[in-house]
Amino acid sequence: MRGGALVAPPDRQAGVDFSQILQNILNGLSIGSVYAIFALGYTLVFSILGIINFAHGAVFTLGAYFTYALTGQRFGFNGLLSNTALPVALPFIVAMLGGATLAGLVSVLVERVAFRPLRQRNADRLLSVVSSLGVAVILVNLIQYLVGAESYSYPSNPFGLSKPAINFGSVERPIPVRSIQIVIFAVALVILLLLTLAINRTMLGKALQAVAEDLTTARLLGINTKRLIVLTFFVSGFLAGLAGTLVGASQSITGPYFGITFGLKGLGVIVLGGLGNVSGAVLGGFVIGLAEAFVPPQFVQYKEAVAFAILFLILLIRPQGLLGRTQVQKV
């Protein structure tokens, strides 16, 4: 599959028909689930600290590169690490989890550098916009310095799927969906399910909700709020790194700016769903994913604009977002 093809190649033969619609829906769910994972990372941090981590997109990018490195593939001709490779070659799934973990650690570092010092000085929250944007720029430049600006691709068929596509239709009216998109959808669903359970059913999740609602109260309950904030940034970065790898596996890593458009769209997703709302991030992800999947092939170059057009329209009607409340809450 060629670049930009998170969405399966459109069925050329017919106009609008049922199988086309079904295919669009399946494609939309797949990309939407990645948006959802990515946006969840944003929203977790927002719900706890009331701030947006603008370095989230850069962590997404890093996650994709970490996975690439962990699979043992060689970097290109530019940058400090040109033509080097790790001596290990991990299986793709292991590399993906490793990449996400490393992205999570970077996110923890971002909290240390860009957020904690400001929080401890009770600085205006707007300042963290500047500091996290600054960290994002540094990370992107660092990537370019280390591995250059070229694009990288994972080994073909990274998940070792036996068929490149699965036909959801009949032989006469095929509805092909790329297998990798089904894997992505499955991974995303598992993550979403685990996270929802963790937030609503565990003591840790309830503690997280307490921190989101009132930091002082959380302290009085004996919750180690500092540790919980670090954990939140880790999970957030893990999700970003995972999303980066999944998108990279579906198309390719397009360079150090890989996560920028994605990061902007992720912002759109959480605003659409309702800032800080976990189910809102998921819903917003699927709405944008589905909307993009229905962009006709002749307008595919305007796909990115669709997300924001929808965002604009929905916010005209519901300024607080689809599920607009402002904190982590029951899903």
Partner 1 sequence: MTETTEPLLAVKQLSVRYGGIQALSSINLAVLPGEVVALIGANGAGKSTTLRAISRLIDVADGSIIYDGADITRARPHQIVRAGIAHSPEGRRILARQTVQDNLRLGAYTRRDRKQIAADMDAQYGLFPRLAERRKQIAGTLSGGEQQMLAIARALMSRPRLLLLDEPSLGLAPLITAEIFTIIDNLHAEGVTILLVEQNARLALAHADRGYVLEAGSITFSGPASALIDDERVRQAYLG
Of 223-242, binders to partner 1 (CB under 8 A) are 223-226
35: its two tokens? 């948006």
Contact status: 327 vs partner 1 (CB under 8 A): yes
CA–CA gap between residue 190 and residue 96 (Å, rounded):
15
- Does 221 participate in binding partner 1 (rule CB under 8 A)? yes
Q: Is 13 in the site for partner 1 (CB under 8 A)?
A: no
Q: Is 207 in the site for partner 1 (CB under 8 A)?
A: yes
Please name the residue that has the structure tokens 């490779």: 85
CB of 44 to partner 1, least distance (A): 16
Name residue, tokens 């503690």: 207
Asked if 215 and 110 touch (Cβ cutoff 8 Å), the reply is no
Among positions 150-179, residues that touch partner 1 (CB under 8 A) are: none
User: Judged by CB under 8 A, does residue 213 bind partner 1?
Assistant: yes
- Burial label for 202, CB within 10 Å (0-12, 13-18, 19+), is exposed
Told to check if 250 binds partner 1 by CB under 8 A, we report no
Q: Tell me the residue type at 85.
A: A
Which residue type does 296 have? P
Q: Is 329 in the site for partner 1 (CB under 8 A)?
A: yes
Binds partner 1 by CB under 8 A, chosen from 120, 216, 298, 301: 216
Rounded-to-integer distance, Cα 287 and Cα 323, Å: 13
Beta bridge partners of 125: none
Is 101 near partner 1 (CB under 8 A)?
no
By the rule CB under 8 A, 222 interacts with partner 1: yes
The contact pattern for partner 1, residues 294-323, with x = CB under 8 A and - = no contact, is ------------------------------
Q: CB 320 → partner 1: shortest distance, Å? A: 16
Give the H/E segment covering residue 167.
strand 165-167
Q: Which stretch, 72-80, 133-141, 206-214, 275-283, contacts partner 1 (CB under 8 A)? A: 206-214
**Size of the residue set binding partner 1 (CB under 8 A):** 19
CB of 229 to partner 1, least distance (A): 13
CA–chain centroid gap for 243, Å, is 4
The yes or no reply on residue 324 touching partner 1 (CB under 8 A) is no
> How many Cα atoms within 13 Å fall on the side-chain side of residue 124?
4
Q: How many CA atoms lie within 13 A of 146 on its CB side?
A: 15
Q: Burial code of 17-35, b = ≥16 C-beta within 10 A, e = fewer? A: eebbeebbbbbbbbbbbbb
Q: How far is the CB of 97 from partner 1 (least distance, A)?
A: 30
Question: In angstroms, rounded to a whole number, what is the distance separating the alpha carbons of residues 137 and 146?
Answer: 14
Candidate residues 116, 119, 206, 303; the one interacting with partner 1 per rule CB under 8 A:
206
Among 219, 264, 294, 306, binds partner 1 (CB under 8 A): 219
| Interface with partner 1, residue 275, by CB under 8 A | no
Q: How far is the CB of 210 from partner 1 (least distance, A)?
A: 6
The residues of the shown chain that bind partner 1, judged by CB under 8 A, are: 203, 206-207, 209-210, 213-214, 216-217, 219-226, 327, 329
